[in-house]
Chains A and B, each alone.
Chain A
C-alpha cells in the first residue's frame, strides 16, 4: 500500500471523515481550518475558513451537501461543501469536541467540553439539508453529563439512541428523543478516557478506543462488549472497515512523552485486527507522531490516518488486503453463510 501524503495542515490532526461515497476526505487540525481532499489522488478540493480556535471535529451529512464542524472557539459551524460558504454558527459556552449527523442527516449532535464552571453537555440541533434554507437556532435537546464529561458521542440506527463515551471509561446510552439516560456501563478501565467512537455501516454496533490500550466492539442495544482488541500503546482512534471484517486502530505514546523516547518506542503505527477473531493481522508504519484519527472509506477502498505530526496519509487497499481471509472464512463463504 503506497500512501498518498496530504500536506495541508500545519498542526496536529484532530479528526478525519470520509463522505458516504468515499470520494472526499475532510480533515480538521488544530490550525483553525478544515480541508477537503479528493480521496483518489489527494488533490485538495478546498478549505473552510472561519473558526477562531483549534478545530476538534468535523462530520459530513449523508448526502454530501453540508459539513458541520466544532472548534475551541465554542462554536459549531455548518458549511456548504460545494461553495465553502458558512451557513450557520451555533454558539456554546465551551469548546465543542465532537459533532455527528444522524443517519438521515436530519439532526446534528455536538459534545461540549466541561470547563469554566460549565458541565459537559451533548446538544442536539435540527438540520435542514437544503443549503438555501434557514437553519433553526434552537437546541432541541440538551443532555448534561453530571458524572463524568462525555468525550465522544454518536447516533445509533434509526436515531434511536445517543451513545456517549466518557472520560471515566464508561459508555452511556441515552434515549435520542427525551435525553433520558437508559444505561451506563464501565467498558474500559476506570479513569481511562474513551478517545474515539465509530459506527458500523448500519449503526447497530460501534467500536471505542481508549487510553487503556484497548479497543472494544460494542452492541448498541445492551452495551455488551462483543470483542476486545488489545494493543500495546494508548489508543486515540478506532475504525471498522466495511467489506472486510477488520478494524483499524491508531494511537501511540502521548505527544507529551514522545520526546523522551525514540521513534521505535512511540509505536506510531496503524494496527489491523480481525474484527471477529480479535487477532492482530498487520501494521502500517509511516507517521512520526501518534495517530490521532483513523477513518475508513465507507465503500471499503481505502483508509486515511491523521497524526500528531500534521500529515494525513491515505492508503488505497491493494489486492493482498482483499484476498486475505482466514480458512474458516473461506469455508463459511463456500457454504454460503457469508
Chain B
C-alpha cells in the first residue's frame, strides 16, 4: 500500500525504520518488466505438424523461409516447446524484431496453407493473452442460438396499389423531411410516410424500386416493405455515394475518406478494409465482399499555378454487367479489371490490358449477336491515338475476353459511348478535330450489335459539335443537340439545334439506315429526356438562368404524315411546350405516363417546387415547396407478363380504357361531391357562429344601455345642421355648326 498522509511514519515512533527512506527508483527502472512492449513483437503460430526433436530443425528452417518475407527472423527466435512425450505441441512462438513486423505477419500469414493438411494460424501473443486468458473462454460448448424464423415484409407490395389504380409512388425530400406519396395526378398526392431526418444528404431508389436508400455518416441504410422498416444497413463510415447492381444483388459504396478501422474493430468491416474507399456489399447477407482503394492517377493536366488538377471522381467507378455477374473498373490508360461475382475475384486472375483505354461501358442488356449461342456479356471501350496507331473502339466479349469488333478512327479528340437500352445498338459519338486542330466536328458511328459481323454505320458528319445524345429506350431512334461552338461556360449559353433521327423503312425484316428527320434551330435546349417506354421525348433547357422551356415531342404522331417523311419510321410532331421557371430536374415516371419537373434548392433558391405534367405536356399540378431538394419516382421491376400476354393487352386496350374511364369519372364525381359537402359544412358552421356572436353582442350592448349601432348616433348629432346641396351645372358643347344663310 502506498503511504498516504494518514499513515506517514512518525520519526518519534518506536518502530520507525530509516530504510524506508531508501530510493529504489534506479533499480526499479532497470528491472521492471515492460509487459506490453516486449510481447508485442511475439506471435504464436498454430496449425503446425507434430515433430520430434530430430525433425524440429527442419521444420524451423521451413518456417523461417515462410516468415522471411514479412520480417527477418533469427533461427533461435523461433521457439517450439516439446511435450513430455518428446513430440512438439503443434505450435511455435516467434519473436520479430518489431511489433509492426509481428502485426504484418498476422495479416499476411494467417490462413496460409503450409501443405495439404496444415494451415498456418498466426496470432499475436498479446491477443492470445487477451482473448484466451482463463475465464474468458467458456469451457463448455454452447451451441449458438438460432433466432426463430420471422416472416419478412413483402418488398414488392407497393406494386399492388391499394386503390387498384396502378398508381406510382414517388419520394420527395424537402428541408429535413423525406416523404413518400402516391401520385394522384391532378389532386394532391396521397401521403404514405413522412419522416424527419430520414437521411443526411440525399435519398436514392434501388434500380427496381425495392429499397429506398438513406445516407448517413455511419453508412447506408435500405428501407422498404409496407411499413417502411429498415431492411439492411451497410456501415461504411462517411459514405458519399452509392450504386446498385442492376439486379439489386450488390451495392457499391464510396467515401472520399479512406476507411479507418479503429483499435476496437468495426462491426462490419475488417482490418483488411483499412485505407479503402470503395466497398462492394452483398445486399442479401449485408456483408462486405471486397473493398478497394481509390485509383490515384497522375493527372496530366495542371492548373495555372502548375498544380495538378484534381480529377473529378468518375461515378460509378465500378460498372455492372446487365446480369450482376461481373463488375469492372477502369484503370485509365492501362487496363480494365473485371471481377466475377459473388467471389469478387479477378476474371482469369488478371486485369485486361488495353493500352491507352479511356472509357468503357457494359451493354445494358444481355446482347443477342447473330450466330452466337453461348453466354456472353459485352462491353465496349475506346483508346485514343497513340503514336502512329489510330484511335480504336472495341467490343469485348466476356468471359472469353475475345475482341469481337474493332473500329479504327482518326483525328479523334474525344469519344462518348452510348448503348441503346436493349444492347441492340451502340453509338459512339466521336469528336474530331480538323488537321489544324482549330475546328471540331462530330460523327456518330453506330454499331449494329444484333447483325452478323456487327456492321458499323456512320451518320453523315455533323458540322457542329454534338453536346447531347440520347437513344429512344427500347427503340431505334435518337435525338441529338448540337451547337456551333463549345465555349467556356458564359452567362449567355450558345444557341443550340435539336435534331431527330430514325431508321428508314426497308422491305422485310431488318432496320434501315439512319436518316435525319428534322432539325429545330435557334434553341437553348441542353437536355433530352425520353419516356422510359419510348415514343415520347422532352427536349428541355435545364440549369439555365434565362430560359426554362420544355418541348414535348411525339415520334409516332397518329395524324397526317408529311410527304417528305414517308420513307421514315417516325412521324415527328411537337405536341406541347411548357415553361417551368428555374427547372433543374426532369423525371419520367416508370410507366411513361407522367413527368415531374422540379426546381431544387441544391441548385438555386428561387421558386423551389415541382410541376407535374402528363406525357402530352398538359400541366396537371403545380406546387411550390419550401426548401425542396429531390423528387424521385419509385422505379418498377421488369414486367412478369410474357410478350404474348402484353400483346393481348395491347389488343384489348379499348376494352380496358372503357372500364378505366368509367372508374375515373365515378371517382371524379364522388370527389366533387365530397368537396361540395365539405364546403356546405364549412358554410353552415360559419353561419351558425355568426348568428350566435351577433346575438351575444346585441345582448351585451343592450345590457350596457348602448345603441345597437355605436356610430349612427354620433353622425346624427353631426348632421344637425342642414344638408348642403351643391349643384354643379356642366355645359358641354356637343357640336357647333355655322351656317351662313342668305
Which A residues from 179 to 223 make CB contacts under 8 A with B? 202, 204-205, 219, 221
Count of B interface residues, CB-CB < 8 Å: 25
**Binary per-residue interface labels of chain B (705-741) against chain A in the complex, 1 for a CB within 8 Å, 0 otherwise:** 0100011001100100000000000000000000000
B701 in the interface (beta carbon within 8 A): yes
Report B675-695 residues with CB < 8 Å from chain A CB.
676, 679-680, 682-684, 686-687, 689, 693-694
A158/B683 in contact, CB under 8 A: no
**Does B697 belong to the interface (CB within 8 Å)?**
yes
Is the beta-carbon distance between B680 and A337 smaller than 8 angstroms? no
Are A328 and B680 interface neighbours, CB within 8 A? yes
Q: Which of A63-85 contact B (CB under 8 A)?
A: 63, 65
The smallest beta-carbon distance between A335 and chain B, in angstroms, is 11
Mask, A303-338, CB within 8 Å of B = 1, is: 000000000000000000000001111011000011
In the complex, which residue of chain B has the Cβ closest to the Cβ of A265? B606
The answer to whether A62 and B714 have CB atoms under 8 Å apart is: yes
Choose among B581, B684, B686, B700 the residue that contacts A264 (Cβ–Cβ < 8 A): B581
- A118 interface hit (Cβ, 8 Å): no
A-B CB contacts (within 8 Å), total count: 62
Closest to B685 in A: A276
Q: Are A63's CB and B714's CB within 8 A?
A: yes
The answer to whether A277 and B676 touch across the interface, beta carbons within 8 angstroms, is no
Q: Which of A104, A158, A204 contacts B711 (CB 8 A)?
A: A104
Partner of B683, one of A103, A261, A276: A276
Bound Cα distance from A329 to B680, whole angstroms: 8
Asked if A157 is at the interface (CB within 8 A of a chain B CB), the reply is: yes
The smallest C-beta distance from A133 to any residue of chain B, in angstroms, reads 14
Which residues of the partner chain B approach A265 to less than 8 Å between Cβ atoms? 581, 606-607
A105 is an interface residue with CB less than 8 A from chain B: yes
Once the chains bind, are B711 and A332 in contact (CB under 8 Å)?
no
A63 and B697: CB pair below 8 A? no
Assess whether A329 is in contact with B711, with CB atoms less than 8 Å apart: no
Residues on A with beta carbons closer than 8 Å to the beta carbon of B683: 276-277, 328-329, 332
Bound complex: CA of A24 vs CA of B701, how far in Å?
29
Most chain B CB atoms below 10 A, which of A20, A202, A219, A276: A276
Q: Check if A158 sits within 8 Å of B701, measured CB to CB.
A: yes
B402-423: contact bitstring with A at CB < 8 Å (1 yes, 0 no)? 0000000000000000000000
Q: Which B residues touch A276, using CB under 8 A?
A: 679, 682-683, 686
Is A232 on the interface with B (CB-CB < 8 A)? Answer: yes
A276 to B684 Cα, complex, angstroms: 10
B455 within 8 A of partner (CB): no
Q: Is B704 interfacial (CB-CB < 8 Å)?
A: yes
Residues of A within 8 A of B676 (CB): 327-328
Chain A residue nearest to B693 in the complex (CB): A204
- The reply to whether the CB of A129 lies closer than 8 angstroms to some CB of chain B is yes
Q: Closest A-chain residue to B711, C-beta based? A: A62
Q: CB-CB < 8 A to B686: which residues of A? A: 276
List the A side residues contacting B581 at CB < 8 Å: 264-265
**Chain B residue nearest to A232 in the complex (CB):** B624
Q: Which residues of A contact B689 (CB under 8 A)?
A: 219, 226
- Chain A min CB distance to B232 (Å): 38
Which B residues are CB-close (under 8 A) to A157? 697
Q: Which residues of B contact A232 (CB under 8 A)?
A: 624
- Which single member of B607, B682, B684, B711 contacts A277 (CB below 8 Å)? B682
Cross-chain contact A105 with B714 (CB below 8 angstroms): yes
Residue of B nearest to A103 (CB): B710
Q: Which residues in B have their C-beta under 8 angstroms from that of A62?
A: 710-711, 714-715
CB distance from B598 to the nearest CB of A (A): 16
Interface string of A124-167 (1 = CB under 8 A from B): 00000100000000000000000000000000011000000000
Q: Which chain A positions have C-beta within 8 A of B714?
A: 62-63, 104-105, 129
How far is it, in angstroms, between the C-alpha of A205 and the C-alpha of B693 when the chains are bound?
A: 10
Chain B residues lying within 8 Å of A264, measured Cβ to Cβ, are: 581
CB distance from B452 to the nearest CB of A (A): 58
**Is B697 a contact partner of A158 (Cβ separation < 8 A)?**
yes
Is B704 in contact with A158, judged by CB distance below 8 angstroms? Answer: yes
A326 touches B679 (CB 8 A): yes
Once the chains are docked, how many angstroms separate the CA of A299 from the CA of B206?
Answer: 62
Across the A-B interface, the 10 shortest Cβ-Cβ residue pairs: A104-B710, A62-B711, A328-B680, A276-B686, A328-B679, A232-B624, A103-B710, A204-B693, A63-B714, A276-B682
**Chain B: residues with CB nearer than 8 A to chain A?**
581, 606-607, 624, 676, 679-680, 682-684, 686-687, 689, 693-694, 697, 700-701, 704, 706, 710-711, 714-715, 718
A-B pairs with beta carbons under 8 Å apart, 9 shown: A63-B711, A63-B715, A104-B714, A158-B701, A204-B694, A328-B676, A332-B680, A337-B684, A338-B687
Known: A221-B693, A328-B683. 17 other contacts (CB 8 A): A62-B710, A62-B715, A63-B714, A63-B715, A103-B711, A104-B711, A105-B711, A204-B693, A204-B694, A205-B693, A219-B689, A219-B693, A276-B682, A277-B682, A328-B679, A332-B683, A338-B687
